[in-house]
Amino acid sequence: MIPVQGLAGGKVAVLGLGRSGLSAARALREGGAEVVCWDDNPAARDAAAAEGFDCEPFKTPQAFEGIARLIVSPGIPHLYPHPNAIVACALEAGVPVDNDIGLFFQSFATSAWGSFETMPRVVAVTGSNGKSTTSALIHHILEHVKRPCQLAGNIGRGVLDIEPAVDGEVVVLELSSYQTDLARNLTPDVAVFTNLSPDHLDRHHGMGGYFAAKRRLFAEGGPDRAVIGVDEDEGRFLAGQLSEGPADDRVIRVSVERKLTGPGWQVAARKGFLSEYRKGKQVASIDLRNVPGLPGSHNHQNACAAYAACRSLGLAPKVIETAFHSFGGLPHRSQTIAEHKGVRYVNDSKATNVDSAAKALEAFKNIRWICGGLEKEGGLEGLEGPSASVRKAYVIGREAAAFAMQLPVEAEVCGTMDIAVRRAAEDAQEGDVVLLAPAAASFDQYDSFEKRGEDFIAQVQTVIAR
Domain limits, CATH 3.40.50.720, in the chain: 11-98
Question: Do 364 and 389 touch, CB atoms closer than 8 A?
Answer: yes
Question: What topology is assigned to 105-325 in CATH?
Answer: UDP-N-acetylmuramoyl-L-alanine:D-glutamate ligase (3.40.1190)
Binding residues for ATP are 127-133
What value, to the nearest 5°, has the Cα angle with vertex 220 and ends 168 and 247?
75
Question: Do 28 and 14 touch, CB atoms closer than 8 A?
Answer: yes
- CA separation for the pair 355, 446 (Å, rounded): 21
Question: Do 123 and 138 touch, CB atoms closer than 8 A?
Answer: yes
- CA separation for the pair 292, 263 (Å, rounded): 33
Q: Which helix (H) or strand (E) holds 436?
A: strand 433-436
Question: Do 351 and 449 touch, CB atoms closer than 8 A?
Answer: no
- CA separation for the pair 256, 307 (Å, rounded): 13
Domain limits, CATH 3.90.190.20, in the chain: 335-465
Domain limits, CATH 3.40.1190.10, in the chain: 105-325
- pLDDT computed for residue 199 by the predictor: 81
Residue 220 DSSP label = T
- pLDDT computed for residue 331 by the predictor: 87
What value, to the nearest 5°, has the Cα angle with vertex 400 and ends 398 and 405?
150
Closest CA to 359 of 376, 382, 375: 382
- Residue ranges of the chain with per-residue pLDDT less than 70: none
Sign, Cα dihedral of 34, 38, 43, 44 = negative
- pLDDT computed for residue 466 by the predictor: 84
Give the three-state DSSP class for 82. Answer: coil
List the CATH code of the domain at 11-98.
3.40.50.720
- In this structure, the chain runs to a length of 466
Binding residues are 127-133
Q: What φ, ψ does residue 456 adopt, rounded to 5°?
A: -60, -45
Question: Do 8 and 31 touch, CB atoms closer than 8 A?
Answer: yes
| Homologous superfamily of 335-465 | Mur ligase, C-terminal domain (3.90.190.20)
What value, to the nearest 5°, has the Cα angle with vertex 90 and ends 87 and 94?
140
Residue type, 347: N
